[in-house]
Chains A and B, each alone.
Chain A
């Protein structure tokens, strides 16, 4: 039962109290914009993680000693490969390298250069690949962030790693990972296992951790428990554990999210309180005059519904539109620092575009109906009184 005349009247009424309504509109806009932008960023990051979770190894084995991660003896690889159901066992050498000049942490990952199809498959994710340099042992492939930092420090063709004994290890740059993988590869340096061991000062019979591939997903948990019995000093992380960890990456009940929600709700309830604590004498007089000239209670409430609906609905639509623009086209300036922190190596914040209707609905139902209700209820109290009583 849409009433165009009442709708027009509601628009005129909004215009009449322009300054106050613009203020409420702006606060409403900022509030929803902030909440939806944070939700869009966090949802996109979750989506990005979920897209690659299948490609991770089925089981990761780490050795813990006094609660700290330690290197594992390479002999365990043979015993692990004897477990029925395991198709591939990969000992890994990887770790963090702190580049003091820039204050950046690199992730150095060693690979077996002689594994089948390795060069062919790695070429697919590398830009500016130099095959001639790559065939030499002392070469590396770096992420875009690493490449930029090295270039700023005049290392455009090679980099000198400082080994634990203080000697230098010169490694040439053979290529950069593709821009499409920047969220995963930004801080990665990929080189041979031998070079990684030399840079970290690791022994030849040690590896950082071991990963397993298990073709049958139903066997993963059984194999994981077998490994726990075989090696009680090891922590076994399955792909399922990683998936659970990915799903819980953001804890909305603490940290930055809780602070944001408290501020947002507090601001919103100030608006609600202002609205629901009663009408101004002007507004009451208006309702009195409307009743005196023959308006029914239903008409008055419908007009108030249109007023609140236009104000909150427009603010909602505008803020969602702008937050999509802000997050996915402008790449969330300022707010992105909440997610990158102190990091020196900041990737291009190009997040995958995901519109989560559930989140949008959540924000909608937490704000718009509440505001409409807070406008209608006091108007209903005033409208049920006699006209002369309200005007007086």
Chain B
């Protein structure tokens, strides 16, 4: 076994042990999902409070298309997170098509 191989093995073991420690620490970090579920069931509003800059980003799942083009029909949205979060699929869920009785 030459010197380079020894260094390589040591390097590899260090990375793997770092990875293993990381996995153990993160897996043991429990989060109470019941609290979250209880909160959401009481409030009843969807989506995360990660970005609050625009209402159609904060509650994107229940926003309408006019909240995006609120200022002007031709103005392009200027909030940065609109480049991160896609518009909701519910935007086009408008009551213009009514089922036949």
Interface positions of A (Cβ within 8 A of B):
4, 7-8, 11-12, 15, 45, 48-49, 51-57, 60, 62, 64, 66-69, 90, 92, 94, 96, 104-105, 107, 109, 111, 121-122, 124-125, 143, 145, 177-178, 180-188, 190, 209, 211, 225, 228-229, 231-237, 241-242, 244-246, 248-251, 254-257, 310, 314, 317-318, 320-321, 324-325, 328-329, 338-345, 347, 349, 352-353, 355
Q: Which of B22, B40, B86 contacts A184 (CB 8 A)?
A: B40
Q: How distant is B43 from chain A, measured CB to nearest CB, in Å?
A: 6
Which residue of B1, B35, B67 is within 8 Å of A125 (Cβ)? Answer: B35
> Contacts A56-B40, A235-B64, A341-B53: A250 and B81 contacting too (C-beta < 8 A)?
no
Cβ contact within 8 Å between A104 and B8: no
Could you tell me the distance between the alpha carbons of A93 and B19 in the complex, rounded to whole angstroms? 48
Contact of A347 among B22, B49, B57 (CB under 8 A): B49
* Additional A-B contacts beyond A92-B44, A325-B18 (13; CB < 8 A): A11-B2, A111-B42, A143-B49, A181-B36, A183-B48, A188-B43, A211-B44, A245-B61, A250-B86, A255-B83, A349-B50, A352-B31, A353-B29
Q: Mark B41-66, 1 if CB is under 8 A from A, else 0.
A: 11111111111110101111110111
Q: Determine the distance from Cα of A235 to Cα of B91 in the docked complex, in whole angstroms.
A: 10
State the Cβ distance, B19 to closest chain A Cβ, in Å: 5
Tell me if B5 and A324 are in contact (CB < 8 A): no
List of A residues within 8 angstroms of B42 by Cβ: 111, 121-122, 125
- The closest CB in chain B to the CB of A104 belongs to B52
Can you identify 14 A-B contacts, CB atoms within 8 angstroms? A8-B5, A11-B2, A68-B64, A105-B55, A107-B45, A181-B39, A185-B39, A228-B99, A241-B90, A255-B84, A314-B11, A324-B22, A339-B50, A349-B50
Q: How far is B80's CA from A282's CA once the two chains are assembled, in angstroms?
A: 49
Flag if B62 contacts A60 (CB, 8 Å): yes
With contact pairs A7-B5, A184-B40 given, residues A237 and B52 touching in the complex (Cβ less than 8 Å): no
CB nearest neighbor in B for A183: B48
A340 touches B29 (CB 8 A): no
Q: Does B74 contact A (CB under 8 A)?
A: no
The 9 A-B residue pairs with the shortest CB-CB distance, nearest first, are A251-B86, A341-B81, A255-B83, A186-B49, A11-B4, A55-B41, A245-B61, A55-B40, A353-B26
Q: In the complex, how many residue pairs between chain A and chain B have their CB atoms under 8 Å apart?
A: 232
Partner pick for B26 among A231, A320, A328, CB 8 A cutoff = A328
Do A249 and B86 touch across chains, with their CB atoms under 8 A apart?
A: yes
Alpha-carbon distance A66/B93, docked complex (angstroms): 14
A329 lies within 8 A of B39 (CB): no
In the complex, B76 has a CB within 8 A of chain A = no
B15 on the A face (CB < 8 A): yes
Whether A184 pairs with B85 at a CB distance below 8 angstroms is no
Residues of the B chain whose Cβ atoms lie less than 8 Å from the Cβ of A355: 23
Could you tell me if B95 and A64 are in contact, using CB atoms closer than 8 angstroms? yes
A84→B57 CA distance, assembly (Å): 35
Measured between beta carbons, the chain B residues less than 8 angstroms from A250 are 84-86
Q: How far is the CA of A237 from the CA of B63 in the complex (A)?
A: 11
For residue B99, which residues in chain A have a CB less than 8 angstroms away from its CB? 225, 228-229
A232 near B44 with CB under 8 A, answer no
